Structure 1
Amino acid sequence: MVFMFQLYLVFIILFLIPLCYLVTNEIVKLLFENRLSKSLIPLGRSQKLTKEQVLSLAKIYIRKKQWLSCILMLEFYAKIDNSNLGEYYNSIGFCYQLIDFNLLAKDYYSQARAFSPSNILFLKNLAKVYWLCNNLQDSLSTYKQILELDPQNKIALDNINILIKKIKKTF
């Protein structure tokens, strides 16, 4: 009887340790993000934030699913900081994609690509949203453009094969 109780305690402890670790990790992450956002927001009102600070704050808004705050902040900084328009537009497109406004996401990803046509991340996002909008030909050509820049890109290689099969089925 005592052995069964000890075995029960061991199993409970083995289950609770990883659970405690995961919960603690999330609490630490939330505290860090909260502290970072509280330190950046007043700073943004009195002086211009750096690109890294803006994108960090955008990540926090995205994690908290505060889409409008994220989009408005990025739009504001896109107007006052012309040197990072591609990254800002890509992040805005990502927000729209997360809330299933894929046509708007496509527009912003296209604008991001216009500012940096060789940025593979921008191209991947654009190809994915073309696919989500059922624009398979444009998605295929964008993935081919990625392969021109990075011939070993596994995501592009895999998706090109899938897209070719899908396009053949439709004809």
Structure 2
Amino acid sequence: MSYYNNIIISMLTLYFICLLFFLIPISILITYEINMLINLYYLSIKIKSEKNDIIVINLVKLYIRRRRWLFSIRLLEDSLSHNGNTNYYNYLGICYSTLQQYTIARYHYEQVLKIDPDNLMSLSGIAKLYILTNQSDKAFEAYMKILNIDPKDKSAKYNINQLMRSHNRDSRI
């Protein structure tokens, strides 16, 4: 009987040793994967933080170049809930104006102008919206404000000349 007990004990010992040789690598793999998931989670949180506005803006620029307006809008609106960066409002204005949602685009540009009245990107965007909605007088005012801030702005000068030409053409008719 003792012989069989020794065999059983040695078999159990061998079984546990083999089991440990398989379980240790598996537990290391599982620990590694859990660590990777935790790192990815913290990285996703980090992207939404204030320090990574550049990453969000670059991703939005990429979406805009690829004409993925709704992806851009979704990312920007999610980011706005975490951080009220004026660049987010400007890019939302660009996306909505491209989708011909001029009222919403103007709202986003105006949000920037409430925070920073001299923001050239918003002034330029809102001036373009005024042109698209046939509000030449308001567009002219916006371009004049741009020139007051930056007298060398060639785009504003060009657009003012275009507005004046079209106004002269319309007054002749």
Quote the sequence identity (%): 32
Count of equivalent residues: 129
C-alpha contact (below 8 Å) 1:124/1:143 kept by paired residues: yes
- 1:62-109 Cα offsets, whole Å, 9 max, x none, are 122221121111111112113x1x211100011112222223222212
1:67 paired residue among 69, 81, 93: 69
- In the alignment, which residue of structure 2 is the partner of 1:46? 45
Q: How does 1:80-119 map to 2 (within 5 A)?
A: 80-82=82-84, 84=85, 86-119=86-119
Task: Return the alpha-carbon distance in structure 1 between the equivalents of residues 42 and 64 of structure 2.
Answer: 20
Task: Return the alpha-carbon distance in structure 1 between the equivalents of residues 113 and 140 of structure 2.
Answer: 16
Q: How does 1:5-154 map to 2 (within 5 A)?
A: 45-47=44-46, 48-49=48-49, 50-82=52-84, 84=85, 86-154=86-154
| Residue 164 of structure 1, CA deviation | 2.2
C-alpha contact (below 8 Å) 1:93/1:106 kept by paired residues: yes
Residues 160 and 103 of structure 1: CA distance in aligned 2, closer, same or farther (over 3 Å): same
- 1:24-72 Cα offsets, whole Å, 9 max, x none, are xxxxxxxxxxxxxxxxx97664332411011011112212222112111
C-alpha contact (below 8 Å) 1:93/1:109 kept by paired residues: yes
AA at the equivalent of 1:105: A
Is the partner of 1:126 in helix, strand or coil?
helix
Residues 68 and 44 of structure 1: CA distance in aligned 2, closer, same or farther (over 3 Å): farther
Q: Is there any run of 5+ residues in structure 2 with no aligned partner, and where? A: 1-39
Task: Return the alpha-carbon distance in structure 2 between the equivalents of residues 160 and 99 of structure 1.
Answer: 25
Q: Which has the larger radius of gyration?
A: 2
Task: Return the alpha-carbon distance in structure 1 between the equivalents of residues 98 and 75 of structure 2.
Answer: 17
Worse-matched range after superposition: 132-141 or 62-71: 62-71
AA at the equivalent of 2:56: V
Task: Return the alpha-carbon distance in structure 2 between the equivalents of residues 44 and 131 of structure 1.
Answer: 42
C-alpha contact (below 8 Å) 1:103/1:133 kept by paired residues: no
TM-score by length of 2: 0.66
- 1:128-161 Cα offsets, whole Å, 9 max, x none, are 1111111111100000000101112111112112
Task: Return the alpha-carbon distance in structure 2 between the equivalents of residues 94 and 42 of structure 1.
Answer: 31
Residues 137 and 53 of structure 1: CA distance in aligned 2, closer, same or farther (over 3 Å): same
Is the partner of 1:147 in helix, strand or coil?
helix
